[in-house]
Structure 1
Amino acid sequence: MSAADLSTLEWPFKDPKYIFFTDFDGTITLQDSNDFMTDTIGFGTEEREQGNRDVLEGKDTFRDAFRKMMDSIKKPFPECVDYLVKNIKLDPHFNEYYQWALQNNIPTVIVSSGMQPIIRAILRNLVGPDADKLAIVCNEVEARPGKKLEEEGGWQIKYHDDSGFGHDKSLTLRPYAQLPADKRPTLFYAGDGVSDLSAARETDLLFAKKGRDLIKYCAREEVPFTVFEDWSSILATVKDIVAEKKTVHDAAHEGYETFKKGDAGVKAANGAAQ
């Protein structure tokens, strides 16, 4: 699936009424696999968090900050994959959502700044055979010049596109958003962090994870969103929308009210808890 195609209108379900796009790390999973590697076998938490702040404040691009993170990890790539498969856990309610989505002909598309071999390995371990029905649009991995993936310091990230994100997630959603009204499905997106900034404006309903950087961005830029803690709340909201008990506008309004009441788990620019 390329960033410009519309293949999700054909597979795994033809002409779906809804499509759910989602970030992977820290959204489907409890931990961000790239953060986990950086913190434990890379340059550490403090430098990584400073990099995230620099991206949010416009001092660095996500592309460059993320490459610095990955370049700090020297373990051979197959060892990195094994390490993550052993340590990364799935949101306890994702599989419940996913089985419901399959039963209701709703495609789920992972749109990630992670790397294909890592995501596929984790999903095979945590989701099982139905993981093959998840479309994935993400970055890749490649050997450094003159080295092999199996060598110490032998791999590097291969970005999906030339954008400042490395993978501009909005490019995956936008072709669907621009379809004529009679062909356009309702678009959902779930995310948690700085890699999701480009996708935030391209969806009908954005689910932003409680306490994470994406909420800060959405509140600052006045991007409508609703807050989620885990996939049980996502599933409940999507079920209500599909059953026409709630509109996407209603859900987004509820999310912003949650933020204003101080229940979104982040601090506003003035330092007040939100």
Structure 2
Amino acid sequence: MVKYFVFTDFDGTLSLTDTGAKVIDVCFGYDNRKAFDKLILDKVRTYTDCVAEMWDSVNISWDEAKELIKDAKIDPYFKEFQNHCNEHNIPIAILSSGLIKLIHEVLNKFLTKEELEKIQIFANDHTIAENGHWKIIYRDDSELGHDKGRTIQEVRDKDSDIKIIFIGDGISDISASKHADYLFAKEGRTLQRWCEQEKIPYYPYTTFEDIWKVLENIV
């Protein structure tokens, strides 16, 4: 019997709100963040250096950060998607370049304790220094701070027979997409454009309902 494993990005994919950007923009500024994004894309500065500097600009309390993301929503069909996966014994893991505490803050509002316990979360962490500034703690020593492809490979090394389903939307999902047997790229986002450019096979989606409509004919 074929075994499947679902990996999904969080910000912009499972969550409809980019939690990290929400917090950074208040302290660093939207225009500055976009300028740093360009520096990364143009390879003027490294991803980890830029992101670390952006997070270091954050000097608000945890309670203030929670207030900023209090209206964050998740994909309206994710809970139904998770139920389908549970029925088919398909584990789900979140792969994120964001902060694990922000992820938990959002998920705790929408998932029960039992639902949350069934999801593994691989993400970066952070601390708040005495001067109030945030410091990101990267999950690994890669040039991305969290190489999602490396994390998938760690899971696959434990069971080479599993089929990998990856769901994403952005540039940080490219490394993970290279490890996927079934790749889902969100309509109109960077990952989809990359797939088109590199001629990588993928399934387009708008919501998790679209994803399950494909998977129910596979699993």
- 1:55-107 deviations in Å (ceiling 9; x for gaps): 344343332232233223221234213432x1211111111101111121110
Which has the higher mean CA deviation after the structures are superposed, 97-106 or 59-68? Answer: 59-68
Deviation at 1:194, TM superposition (A): 1.8
Deviation at 1:178, TM superposition (A): 5.3
Deviation at 1:225, TM superposition (A): 1.9
**Scaled by the length of structure 2, what TM-score is found?**
0.90
2:4 pairs with 1:18: yes
Aligned AA for 1:163? S
Number of residues of Structure 1 aligned to a counterpart in Structure 2:
218
> Aligned equivalents of 2:67 and 2:38: distance in 1?
30
Task: Pick the structure with greater CA Rg.
Answer: 1
1:272 paired residue number: none
Q: Structure 1's 193 and 120: CA in aligned 2 closer, same or farther, altered over 3 A?
A: same
2:55 paired residue number: 70
2:81 pairs with 1:101: no
2:180 paired residue number: 203
Contact 1:176 1:185 survives alignment (8 Å)? no
Aligned AA for 1:29? S
Runs of 4+ in 1 over 6 A off after TM superposition: none
Query: What's the Cα RMSD here?
Result: 2.1
Picking from 97, 100, 109, the partner of 1:125 is: 109
Listed as ranges, the gaps of 5+ residues in structure 2 are none
1:230 paired residue number: 207
3-state DSSP of counterpart to 1:240: coil
2:31 paired residue number: 46
Alignment of 1:64-213 (within 5 A): 64-84=49-69, 86-129=70-113, 130-144=115-129, 147=130, 152-153=132-133, 155-177=134-156, 184-213=161-190
Aligned AA for 1:66? V
Q: Identity across aligned pairs (percent)?
A: 33
Q: Which has the higher contact order (CA 8 A, sep 6+)?
A: 2
Q: Structure 1's 55 and 225: CA in aligned 2 closer, same or farther, altered over 3 A?
A: farther
Q: Structure 1's 190 and 96: CA in aligned 2 closer, same or farther, altered over 3 A?
A: same
Structure number having the greater strand percentage: 2
- 1:137-180 deviations in Å (ceiling 9; x for gaps): 11111233xx1xxx632x21111111110011111111444577
> Aligned equivalents of 1:223 and 1:65: distance in 2?
28
Contact 2:20 2:99 survives alignment (8 Å)? no
Aligned AA for 1:30? L
3-state DSSP of counterpart to 1:26: coil
**Scaled by the length of structure 1, what TM-score is found?**
0.73
Listed as ranges, the gaps of 5+ residues in structure 1 are 1-14, 243-274
> Aligned equivalents of 1:83 and 1:225: distance in 2?
34
